[in-house]
Amino acid sequence: MRLKHLKVDMLETQSVAVSDEEGRRRIIIHASNNEPTIGLYDKNENLRASFSLDALDNPSITLRKDDEKALIAIFLTEDNEPLIKIYDRDEQTRLAVYMMENRPAINFYDNHEKLRMSLYLSENGDASLKMYDATEKVINTVEPSPT
Residue 2 clears pLDDT 80, i.e. is over it: no
**pLDDT score of 19:** 93
Helix (H, G, I), strand (E, B) or coil at 36: coil
Average pLDDT score over residue span 24-31 = 95
Helix (H, G, I), strand (E, B) or coil at 88: coil
CB atoms within 10 A of CB 132: 19
**pLDDT score of 125:** 86
Residue 46 CA: distances (Å) to CA of 13, 55, 85, 108, 143:
23, 24, 21, 29, 46
Residue 1 clears pLDDT 70, i.e. is over it: no
Tell me phi and psi for residue 7, to 5 degrees.
-125, 120
Residues in CB range of 99: below 8 A, 6 or more apart: 81, 82, 83, 105
Q: What is the pLDDT of residues 69-128, one digit of tens each?
A: 999 999 998 888 999 999 999 999 999 999 988 899 999 999 999 999 999 998 888 999
Helix (H, G, I), strand (E, B) or coil at 54: coil
Q: With 0.95 as the threshold, say if the pTM is over it.
A: no
Residues in CB range of 13: below 8 A, 6 or more apart: none
Query: Where does the pLDDT of residue 24 fall: very low under 50, low under 70, confident under 90, or very high at 90 and above?
Result: very high
Query: Where does the pLDDT of residue 7 fall: very low under 50, low under 70, confident under 90, or very high at 90 and above?
Result: confident
For residues 113 and 32, the model is more confident at 113
Query: Where does the pLDDT of residue 13 fall: very low under 50, low under 70, confident under 90, or very high at 90 and above?
Result: confident
3-state helix, strand, coil split of the chain in percent (to 5) is 0, 50, 50
Q: Which of 48, 53, 78, 43 is nearest to 65 (CA)?
A: 48
